[in-house]
Amino acid sequence: MPHAILNPQVRQGLRTPTPRSEPWVAHQKLPGYQPTPLRQLEDVARVAGVRAVHLKDESNRFGLPAYKILGASWATLRILERMLGSALEPWTNVDQLRERLAPLGRLKLITMTDGNHGRGVARVAQWLGYAAEIFVPRGTAQARIEGIESEGAEVTIVAGTYDDAVERAASSVAPGVILVSDHGWPGFEEVPSWVAEGYETIFLEIERQIADQQIAPPDLVLVQIGVGTLASAVVAHFRAEGRATFPTLVGVEPTGAACALHSIEAGKPVMLHAGADASIMAGLNCGTPSTAAWPSLEDGIDAYLAIEDERAREAMRLLAASGVVAGESGAASTGGLLELMKGVETRRVREALEVGPETRVLLISTEGATDPVSYRLIVGRSA
């Protein structure tokens, strides 16, 4: 059943330091950089009953079907710079970057994933001429595994859940083997914080697109949770000091893997069993929040929604009708908007947040059709 709560721990008036712009500068020097589009979705706004909906479409980022490479690349650069013991700058392309990193020798990047982050890490390894091994939980869609392998990485299937894959990756660190994780735990929080820094590129692009298109800023932002790394970047950007407006922030999770919502209710991080069958929103099938993201989830997100898979399917079809290709996790923010505005269980939260016909909404579609078979079954046509 859908579930919605106001966050009793949220810090009213929270202001965060201004996010770094250096990740965006670095991303613009990587092969194939282009800003992803910010789309106005009039039909989605009409169905949801709000004034306007704009969606940041991350279905094609550096030629990959998800945004995750932004965090993977920036975190890797920060790790390698520390290993090198000197600044990586100046460099203007990947060839120059490889020359700067030559003293480190040939390294191996590893991580765990439900698909998208792992493929991002694999692409970064390919750019740098490194090896890569990606740990995935049993039940990961074959198309996502093949996508990772297409980047030249080795894929290791772990018997168990995403959280089991986390343990396996963490135990595989060795000399010359670097863990580029977007999930944090006690004692391993700096790298995930660098991943979150990398996602600031999304929001700097949005700010420029809002200005260029003369769009009013959003009143409401819905963001997918997963382990919370993207959501922590949302908090960092939209609660930053000096902003002119501070929109309401709502986190969206599957009902079968609502680890942040249940953690907020408990007042501390909790672990759920979130196997491959927890939800079709595979990228959000996480059993526990990242400890690196938890302070932002606790202090900065105003409310949490847990949605059923059918809302994600409905959102995928609605987005497809508007010309947006979104996978199950990518469509979750749109599904969250539909649940918030139309759901019976969400009425109290909707009214408390004062969202309605005049609300301007920002959504992020975090992935394209990363599982083409599933996409075709749900939408009724290929991407």
Give the pLDDT of the chain (383 residues) as one tens digit per residue. Answer: 789 999 999 999 999 999 999 999 999 999 999 999 999 999 999 999 999 999 999 999 999 999 999 999 999 999 999 999 999 999 999 999 999 999 999 999 999 998 799 999 999 999 999 999 999 999 999 999 999 999 999 999 999 989 899 999 999 999 999 999 999 999 999 999 999 999 999 999 999 999 999 999 999 999 999 999 999 999 999 999 999 999 999 999 999 999 999 999 999 999 887 666 789 999 999 889 999 999 999 999 999 999 999 999 999 999 999 999 999 999 999 999 999 999 998 999 999 999 999 999 999 999 999 999 999 999 999 98
Query: Residues 56, 57, 68, 371: which is the catalytic one?
Result: 68
- Which SS3 state, helix, strand or coil, does residue 326 take? coil
Q: Do residues 88 and 142 share a domain? A: yes
Q: Which residue, 114, 101, 159, 154, is CA-closest to 131? A: 154
Q: Same structural domain for residues 247 and 373?
A: yes
68 among known catalytic residues = yes
Asked if 368 and 234 sit in the same domain, the reply is yes
3-state secondary structure of 107: coil
Supply the pLDDT for residue 195: 98
Read off the pTM.
0.96
- Show which of 156, 179, 195 is a domain's final residue: 195
- Looking at the structure, tell me whether residues 130 and 214 fall in a common domain: no
* pLDDT value at residue 375: 97
Looking at the fold, whether 357 and 261 belong to one and the same domain comes out as: yes
| Closest to 293 in 3D by CA, of 183, 135, 218 | 183
Quick check: is 302 catalytic? no
Q: Which two tokens stand for residue 74?
A: 């920036």
Question: Which DSSP category does 148 fall into?
Answer: H
Q: Which residue has the tokens 């969250």?
A: 336
pLDDT at 274: 67
One domain, residues 13 and 84: no
Asked if residue 261 and residue 178 are part of one domain, the reply reads: no
How many structural domains compose the chain? Answer: 2
**What does the block give as tokens for 162?**
């995403």
User: Which parts of 239-360 fold into alpha helices (H)?
Assistant: 259-266, 294-300, 309-321, 332-342, 347-353
Q: Do 139 and 235 share a domain, yes or no? A: no
Catalytic residue among 57, 114, 163, 182: 114
Same domain, 209 and 186: no
Contact 94, 76 (CB under 8 A): no
Cα-atom radius of gyration of the chain, to the nearest Å?
A: 19
Could you tell me if residue 189 is left (phi over 0), alpha (psi between -120 and 50 degrees) or otherwise beta?
A: alpha
Q: 241 with 223: CB under 8 angstroms?
A: no
Q: What is the CATH number of the domain that holds 106?
A: 3.40.50.1100
Question: What pLDDT shows up at residue 276?
Answer: 65
Domain that holds residue 173: 69-195
Q: Are residues 206 and 247 in the same domain?
A: yes
* 55 and 185 within one domain: no
